[in-house]
Amino acid sequence: MNKKENYENPVSCWNKAEEYEEMFILLGRDPAAPVTIRAWWKERIRLGLDEPNSPKIVSAQGIAQKMASMQAIQRINQEPDANDFEQKLLRMSSLDTLERIYNDPMPNTNDPTQNEKNAKFQSLIGREIDRRISVRQAASS
């Protein structure tokens, strides 16, 4: 949940917390946040506090994936050659990262130029995923 959703949702952890209960908030830009969230939901399952498909765990998994995807896109867009989509795409480290970004695209902004860049990048990610899958299939046959 984002800041506004937490505040407005009466059953959010923010609103369900006791008056003096300690809380720890992870920001989406924190590089440690996605890994920390994954560790949290895995431990909840291990302790028997949640089932793997419970809404709380599914939500945590989605948030961790979204954070990781947005961080990857932000890292790429901060590179000096940010207009060179092919080079940026090839620097992506894993097929898993590419698939997460492809399945959770950047939202539209008020900047049409940025929206166009995001759409082009999304298309290139799809082509790179197809290429990597083809290479993997060719290597295994």
Q: What is the DSSP string of 33-75?
A: HHHHHHHHHHHHHHTTSS-TTSHHHHHHHHHHHHHHHHHHHHH
70 falls in which pLDDT band (50, 70, 90)? confident
* Sequence letter at residue 100: R
* pLDDT surpasses 70 at 32: yes
- Cα separation, 97 vs 76, in Å, equals 13
Return the minimum-mean-pLDDT range out of 19-33, 34-48, 94-108: 94-108
Q: Which has the higher per-residue pLDDT, 63 or 121?
A: 63
- Cα separation, 9 vs 43, in Å, equals 25
Q: What is the mean pLDDT of residues 73-80?
A: 67
Which of 110, 138, 106 lies closest to 122 in space, CA to CA? Answer: 106
Residue 38: the pLDDT is 92
* pLDDT surpasses 70 at 88: no
Query: Looking up tokens 């709380």, which residue turns up?
Result: 56
pTM of the model: 0.56
- Cα separation, 69 vs 98, in Å, equals 8
